[in-house]
Structure 1
Amino acid sequence: MSHTLCDRRVLITGASGFMGSWLTKYLLEQGAIVTTILADWNPNSYFVHSGVIYQVKNIVGSIEDYSLLEKVISDHNINTVFHLAAISVEGLAFEKPRQAFEINIRGTYNILEACRVHSDLVQRVVVASSDKAYGDSPILPYTEDLPTVGKNPYDVSKSCGDMIARSYHNSYGLPVVIGRFGNIYGGGDLNLNRLIPNTIRCLLQNQPPIIRVPIQGSFMRDFLYVQDAVNAYIAMFEGLENPKVHGEAFNFAMGGSWKVLEIVQKIQHLMNREDIEPVVIPQSHGEILHQHVSIEKAQKILGWTPRYSFNEGLRETIEWYTEFLGSPSVANGQNSLVAPPFSSAPELNNQISG
């Protein structure tokens, strides 16, 4: 058990999401006292299935509600904040840019302002960001000193969030650190349209995986297994003991890059389903072609390094989805990605308050 986390009064936003579920579970295992702010939840999520939802103090609300954030920090004597809540699906951000900006930008400055106002309580703030904050930089691998110049709605929202976090440190001395993550994968990601879970699902159902590729060139991506991502968040939290880490950004990924087809072939090999031919669909717009981050800064300053190889992470991910997609509720088509309202779960009424 971590002595630095034991009895810490932690607020985590985005706790019911893919990454947030795993991080919240770890914080509880280390003895932290965790409060969450939830706008919604999914009954099939890892947050529910792991039992995490029953072990934390859940507050119904949105990070767009500044008064609520300030009240939660004050009422629960929060001393540590992990800010993960965001619209994290690029396609959704493109379709609903106003919603993406409200949640990803407004939500970020709301939580940072609430932390500033209660700086007598809040000692450490960890903000989740993305390698998308760099935009379509021609310089590879991305290093933390590159400008954050996103162009499409999702990328811009992450660029802005980063700059806002740094401004709160530079202007007010807020002890904040920013994590820029590559593509996080692992069990519990219910966005089954993403490359890795979609490929696994297709192969389990004896269907060809669908690969979307640009008309010219190929997509190159950097990945990180969810357990390594949890360790990255903890490394940032612990790193904030050093004032030199305050206001800094760190990249986290495996430190390599893979073509989309290579990833699909890896999964096929691990699942012994090389007999199924993928379907390749060209697309003419949208995503950045090549993304690859340097992780040297995190290794040098935080002492963090990924522990899982790509194959190891994929094996555990395949095992998780094999069990999940074979469960009765999912097999019967009850794996809706749209979360029901809290009122549909009376068994949680004694757990949730405003």
Structure 2
Amino acid sequence: MSGRYAGSVALVTGGQGFIGSHLVERLLVEGARVVVPRRDVPARSYFRLAGLERRCDLADLDLLDAAAVLRVLNEHEVEHVFHLAAQAIVAVANRSPASTFESNVRATWNLLEACRDLGERGPLAIVVASSDKAYGAQDELPYREDMPLRAVHPYDVSKACADLVARSYAHSFALPVAVTRLANVYGPGDLSFSRLVPDTARTLVRGERPVVRSDGTPLRDFLHVEDAVAAYLAVADSLATRPELRGRAWNAGADAPVAVLDLVRRLIFASGRSVEPDVRGRGVPSGEIDRQWLDSSAIRAQLGWAPSRELDEGLVETYAWYAENLSESVTGE
């Protein structure tokens, strides 16, 4: 099999999730053998709809079990690690912070410690998913990688902690680790309806008015999932060939802030529906940051990455996927 990862073995934690599934799909195309920790997956997940389950090696692995993590890395002789597994829903983190810290921080150090234990037999590249939310509220925007991490809310803090832990393993133990801080990722296959794009798309498929739970003014940076995947691979490639880039954090976004209400209106236009948003909120929802977007100039200049999809193009493609794939059993929840 040909491809940039032909014959290599990649572990993708969170590989059954939204971004992880797309990363798995791309790695398979690139010739990798992909190992994915097994977990409960809805029947209509992208992982199953895209037929990925039967093409991967599924491993019985709880990332909170340090011995099990080391066993899987050893048995599969993993060369590339993409650590995307996380409790990624802000509202859940606000309700259950302790379990979020376990999933997002302890799991990260377990994985990195296992990689360290392997010594020279360890992976060539380890990419850890942080988040733009690790920056917290800053006095100036856009976020740059040299800014301090000022997270205060539970989800944001969990990602900031994992970010710092990962970079510590690079600087202290010379592990080939880097972190990605991505903008808000959207695209086909995201069935987490607590998020803005999936919720709006599902509502439009039903022929209803999308509900905006803020006043519509919060600013966000939106990145198509295929561009997110390309960023992960660019960072992994850099770690395998350029040791001086270990311990780096890389922003990846569209570098173009969009108001929430504007995003909803653009998705309505992509759907072809004739409805108006139902703005019900006031100000910014509790536990969220008002204004967030990234400066991605470093990854563009140093790794040659750039987003390939304009937002409106991506929204048309994304809505088409929801219109085709959301059955009554999903939309009728």
SS in structure 1 of the partner of residue 11 of structure 2: strand
- Given the alignment of the two structures, is residue 292 of structure 1 paired with residue 293 of structure 2, yes or no? yes
Instruction: Spell out the pairing of 1:126-141 with structure 2 (5 A cutoff).
Output: 126-141=127-142
Q: CA deviation at 1:108?
A: 0.4
1:349 corresponding residue in structure 2: none
Which string of whole-angstrom CA distances, capped at 9 and with x for unpartnered residues, describes residues 321-340 of structure 1? 00111xxxx3135998xxxx
96-105 or 38-47, which deviates more? 38-47
Q: Is the contact between residue 221 and residue 259 of structure 1 (CA under 8 Å) also seen in structure 2?
A: yes
Moved more, 140-149 or 282-291: 282-291
Q: Secondary structure at the match of 2:213?
A: strand
Structure 2 distance, partners of 1:334, 1:207, is 11
2:277 and 2:96 map into 1 onto residues whose CA distance is 34
CA distance in 2, matches of 1:170, 1:193: 37
For residues 204 and 315 of structure 2, what CA distance do their matches in structure 1 show?
Answer: 14
d(CA) in 2 for partners of 1:334 and 1:306?
31
Q: Which residue of the partner structure matches residue 345 of structure 1?
A: none
Is the partner of 2:120 in helix, strand or coil? coil
1:36 corresponding residue in structure 2: 36
1:63: which partner in 2? Answer: 63
Aligned residue number for residue 218 of structure 2: 219
CA distance in 2, matches of 1:148, 1:65: 28
SS at match of 1:178: strand
- Give the match's secondary structure for 1:264: helix
TM-score (normalizing by structure 2): 0.95
Deviations 1:221-255 (A, max 9, x none): 00100011111111111111111211100001111
Report the Cα offset of residue 59 of structure 1: 1.1
The corresponding residue for 1:199 is 200
8 Å CA contact retained: 1:219, 1:260: yes
Q: Secondary structure at the match of 1:250?
A: strand
Per the alignment, do residues 2 and 171 of structure 1 end up closer, same or farther by CA in structure 2, a change over 3 Å counting? farther
Cα shift at 1:2: 6.5
Secondary structure (helix, strand or coil) at the match of 2:269 reads helix
Separation in structure 2 between the aligned mates of residue 160 and residue 244 of structure 1, nearest angstrom: 23
Structure 1 counterpart SS, 2:37: strand
Corresponding letter in the other structure for 1:238 = D
Moved more, 291-300 or 200-209: 200-209
Identity of aligned residues (%): 39
Contact 2:212 / 2:277 at 8 angstroms: preserved in 1?
no
| Offset at residue 279 of structure 1 (A) | 3.4
Shift of 1:69: 0.5
What is residue 332 of structure 1 aligned with on the other side?
A: 329
How far apart, in 2, do the equivalents of 1:44 and 1:269 lie?
26
Aligned to 2:174: 173
- What is the aligned-residue RMSD (CA, Å)? 1.6
In 1, distance between residues paired with 2:292 and 2:70?
A: 37
Aligned counterpart, 2:236:
237
The one-letter code sitting in structure 1 at the alignment partner of 2:155 is Y
Cα contact 2:18–2:189 (8 A) shared by 1: yes
Deviation by residue 1:271-322 (Cα, 9 ceiling, x = unmatched): 2223344333225622100001000000011100001000111011011100
Q: Does 1:81 align with 2:78?
A: no
Is contact 2:3-2:29 (8 Å) kept? no
Q: Aligned partners of 1:233, 1:14: CA distance in 2, in Å?
A: 14
In 1, the alpha carbon distance for the partners of 2:332 and 2:68 equals 31
AA aligned opposite 1:172 = F
- CA distance in 2: counterparts of 1:334 and 1:55, whole angstroms: 28
**Aligned equivalents of 1:109, 1:33: Cα separation in 2:** 24
Partner letter of residue 218 of structure 1?
Answer: T
| Cα distance in 2 for residues equivalent to 1:19 and 1:25 | 10
State the alpha-carbon separation in 2 of the partners of residues 24 and 286 from structure 1: 31
Matched, 1:12 2:7: no
Q: Name the counterpart of 1:259.
A: 259
2:205–2:323 Cα contact (<8 Å) kept = yes
| 1:119-176 Cα deviation digits (max 9, x unpaired) | 3221110111100010111220000001112101101001100110111011100001
- Matched pairs, number: 330
CA contact (8 A) 1:104 1:158 kept: yes
Gaps in structure 2 of 5+ consecutive residues: none
Match of 1:342 in 2: none
Deviates more, 1:183-192 or 1:115-124: 115-124
The 2-side partners of 1:72 and 1:64 are apart by: 13
SS in 2 for 1:281: coil
TM-score under structure 1 length normalisation: 0.90
CA contact (8 A) 1:5 1:31 kept: yes
Matches of 1:194 and 1:333 in 2, distance apart? 15
Contact persistence 1:265–1:274 (CA under 8 A): no
